[in-house]
């Protein structure tokens, strides 16, 4: 995660019951940065897309 992102530590369940760990928000590019259990890479989505799936 770069210095443009606000660090967060929040967990949600997705529609399939899997934990999604939100680790940050990139204000400049307007993206939610999150991790999925069992997947080693950071995932990013615009807030609207993320909110519609969690």
The pLDDT profile of the chain, 54 residues, written as one tens digit per residue, is 656 889 999 999 988 999 999 999 999 999 999 999 999 999 999 999 998 877
Q: Are 35 and 23 spatial neighbours (Cβ–Cβ below 8 Å)?
A: yes
- Strands 19-26, 43-45: pairing is unpaired
pLDDT at 53: 76
pLDDT at 4: 83
User: 53 in helix, strand or coil?
Assistant: helix
- pTM (2 decimals)? 0.85
User: 10 in helix, strand or coil?
Assistant: strand
Phi, psi of 27 (to 5 degrees): -70, -40
């Amino acid at each position: 995660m770069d210095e443009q992102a606000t660090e967060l530590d929040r967990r949600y369940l997705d529609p399939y019951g899997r934990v999604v760990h939100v680790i940050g928000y990139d204000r400049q590019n307007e993206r939610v940065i999150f991790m999925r259990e069992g997947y080693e890479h950071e995932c990013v989505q615009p807030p609207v897309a993320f909110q519609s799936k969690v």
